[in-house]
Each structure stands twice: as C-alpha cells, then as structure tokens.
Amino acid sequence: MLEKLKAIEDKYEELTRLLTDPAVLSKPAELLRYSKEQAELQPLVDKIREYRKLLSDIEGAEELLKRGDGDLRKLAQEELDELKEKRPKIEKELKIMLLPKDPRDERNVILEIRAGTGGEEAALFAANLFKMYLKYAEHKRWKVEMIDMNSTGLGGIKEVIASIQGKGAFSRLKYESGVHRVQRVPITEAAGRIHTSAATVAVLPEAKEVDIAIDERDLRIDTFCASGPGGQGVNTTYSAVRIVHIPTGLIVRCQDERSQLKNKEKAMKVLRSRLYETEMERKERERALERKLLVGTGDRSERIRTYNFPQNRVTDHRIGLTLHKLEQVLEGNLDEIIDGLITHYQAERLKEL
C-alpha cells in the first residue's frame, strides 16, 4: 500500500508543478483539467500525509522507548499506545478513499416514485416520500425539475418522475432505490386501524447521449393534450409527449412543459437513463456471477425501509438502523441514514476486495 500511496503523492506533486508551468498557464483547458485533478486528489494526499506522520511518530516513540529510562520510558509507552490505537482507524479511512470510485457518483439523478399496494393510502405515502426528497434536495441546494406526475384527488401521487441536479446527487441518493413501507392510520380509515402500504422508489443516474445510442427508428412518439393544472394550454395544445421504445417496450411520458419540444427532451432524458440503468444492471449481474457474489445498491423489489407513524420510528432493514425521529426524516433530514448506508456499503466493498 505504501508504494501506491507514494505514486499518488508523486502524481499530486507533478500536478502542482504543472499548474505553475507557463506552457500550461497559457492553455485554459489544460489548466482547468489539471486543477480539477489536483482538487480531487487533495483530500487523499492530506490523509496520506497524516498517515506518514503517524508512522514517523510511532517510529520515534519506539526509538525513545528503547533508549529512555524511568519516566521517559513511561511517557514514550503512553504515546506509543495512543498512536497505535489511531493507526487502524486511519488505515481504514485510507483504504476507503482508495476504493475505485463509482463513475456515476457525480451524475444528476432521475427520481421515480410509484404508489404500490394500499390504494389511496399508498398514493398519499408516495406524496410524502416525494416531499421528503424535495426537502432533502433543498437542504443540499440541488435543483429539482418536474418531468411527469399523476396525482389523485386527495393529494396523493400515483406516479412522479423528476430530475435532481447537483454535485454528488447520485452518490447520496443511489441507495434509496427499493420498496418503502409505511405503517399508520390512514385518513381514509374511519375505524382507526393501522394499515400497511408501500411505494417504490427508483433512483437512476442521468445518462448522457454518449452513454446510450438510441435509434430514432426504434421510437414511436405520440403527442396529446396535457391534463391537470396548467391554465389555458391544458386540453387545447398538443404539448404532452409519450415515447415508446419499441425494442424494450419502455414507455415514457412528459407533460410538465407547455412546449412539446421541451417535453420531448425531458422524456428522452428519462428514456436514456432507464436504458442506461438496465445495461448497467446487466453488466453488474454478469460480474456478480463471475465472482459468485451479488453486490449492488439493492434490488428495487426489495423492502428497504419502514416508516412507522404510531411509534415515530424509521427502520432501514439493510443496515438494521432504527431512528425514533420520523418527523425529522420526512422533513428531509436523511443524512444520518444515508451516511450509515454509505459506510455499510464501503465496508462490504472492502471485504470483497
């Protein structure tokens, strides 16, 4: 590992040198690329230097322990014990930082939420989840754009698709895919009995045109009048778009914009992301079969979390985390859960490697 750390430090020093090279300073594109590389390496290099100092301090304490006597040996032993206690923690942090990065982590997100079993109560819960993610995006200062929504009369959501744009959006939200279950007394239940219903969440990395090639001949594009809120344009302008990808049968629709062209662009963004995710899942399954091990961010059919209203409890079943702060979670305070999931999956990857 020390050789790898030395190579990273050498790379960082070379980038520092290049950033002061007049030949590079005269080329804005190269300057930007090297600056970005150096910025990405900075946290890792800081940790490497912290680790090297720790090793040096351990060596110094051991030397003092050999040569010293009396109180000096005692002080050296205390310092050595303290330094050795720090070492495994810093080594683990370094190993995590050295894990291969998911190339999708910095991508924007296509968020899809659908009401599952439970009728109107499931639709109301889907609306709660969407509001939760909107508030989380607001905390992170991410931008949210609506793509399509199918609402119910009581304020529930049968299906909603939105784009979330911001630094690290996919890296934070990718573990949210799966079945979310709610336990509460529905507003539609007169007898006051606790019901269980569910909604599914899918978090897709936004695909770029270079990721997925889509042949226009494989598409059937229909236009129709938008429905729902929208003013005079509703039911008078054929601005809503439905795209069918014939080879896979995937259907995407968008009616959020008054412009047919903008709706088509948004629908194509969702279609590309779905096709990209399908391809990534296929490759992951192939790799998993080769390793005889399934590692991923969770099957979308897997029940991942329960929101229990009577007990003010949220439980993430994958990591066994239970928080008695349901209201705060639904207000978008998701970092405690997401940080726990990231730590868990990083540990799993370390075991695998």
142 and 277 assigned to the same domain: yes
pLDDT of residue 287: 60
pLDDT of residue 133: 98
263 and 319 assigned to the same domain: yes
Q: Which one has a higher pLDDT value, 99 or 27? A: 27
Question: What average pLDDT score do residues 153-175 get?
Answer: 93
Confidence of residue 291 (pLDDT cuts 50, 70, 90): very low
pLDDT of residue 113: 96
Give me the percent of the chain exceeding a pLDDT of 70: 91
pLDDT of residue 286: 67
Query: Does residue 104 sit within a domain?
Result: no
Query: Does residue 283 sit within a domain?
Result: yes
189 and 309 assigned to the same domain: yes
pLDDT of residue 220: 93
Q: How far apart are CA 164 and CA 36, in angstroms?
A: 23
Distance set, CA 233 to CA 240, 256, 258 (Å): 11, 11, 7
Domain that holds residue 47: 2-98
Confidence of residue 293 (pLDDT cuts 50, 70, 90): very low
Confidence of residue 228 (pLDDT cuts 50, 70, 90): low
Final residue in a domain of this structure, among 98, 131, 163: 98
pLDDT of residue 104: 87
316 and 205 assigned to the same domain: yes
- The answer, yes or no, to whether residue 294 has pLDDT greater than 50, is no
CATH of the domain at 55: 1.20.58
Query: Does residue 336 sit within a domain?
Result: yes
Question: What average pLDDT score do residues 318-325 get?
Answer: 95
Query: Does residue 73 sit within a domain?
Result: yes
Question: What average pLDDT score do residues 285-293 get?
Answer: 54
Question: What average pLDDT score do residues 221-244 get?
Answer: 69
263 and 333 assigned to the same domain: yes
Mean pLDDT is highest, among 10-24, 93-107, 277-291, 298-312, for: 10-24
Q: How far apart are CA 129 and CA 97, in angstroms?
A: 31
Q: Which one has a higher pLDDT value, 332 or 3? A: 332
277 and 180 assigned to the same domain: yes
Contact criterion met (CB below 8 Å) for 105 and 175? no
Query: Does residue 61 sit within a domain?
Result: yes
Q: How far apart are CA 151 and CA 175, in angstroms?
A: 25
Final residue in a domain of this structure, among 47, 78, 98: 98
3-class SS of residue 198: strand
CATH of the domain at 250: 3.30.70.1660
234 and 306 assigned to the same domain: yes
Contact criterion met (CB below 8 Å) for 226 and 237? yes
- The answer, yes or no, to whether residue 296 has pLDDT greater than 90, is no
Least confident span in 207-221, 231-245, 331-345: 231-245
Query: Does residue 334 sit within a domain?
Result: yes
Give me the percent of the chain exceeding a pLDDT of 90: 59
pLDDT of residue 297: 42
- The answer, yes or no, to whether residue 339 has pLDDT greater than 80, is yes
Closest CA to 177 of 15, 13, 338, 346: 338
Record the tokens describing residue 110, joined without a space: 């296509």
93 and 114 assigned to the same domain: no
- The answer, yes or no, to whether residue 68 has pLDDT greater than 80, is no
73 and 129 assigned to the same domain: no
Average of per-residue pLDDT values in the chain: 87
**Structural domain count, the chain:** 2
Confidence of residue 334 (pLDDT cuts 50, 70, 90): very high
88 and 175 assigned to the same domain: no
Final residue in a domain of this structure, among 98, 118, 151: 98
pLDDT of residue 353: 64
Confidence of residue 324 (pLDDT cuts 50, 70, 90): very high
83 and 128 assigned to the same domain: no
219 and 200 assigned to the same domain: yes
pLDDT of residue 230: 44
pTM assigned to the model: 0.72
Query: Does residue 253 sit within a domain?
Result: yes
- The answer, yes or no, to whether residue 280 has pLDDT greater than 50, is yes
Query: Does residue 103 sit within a domain?
Result: no
pLDDT of residue 329: 97
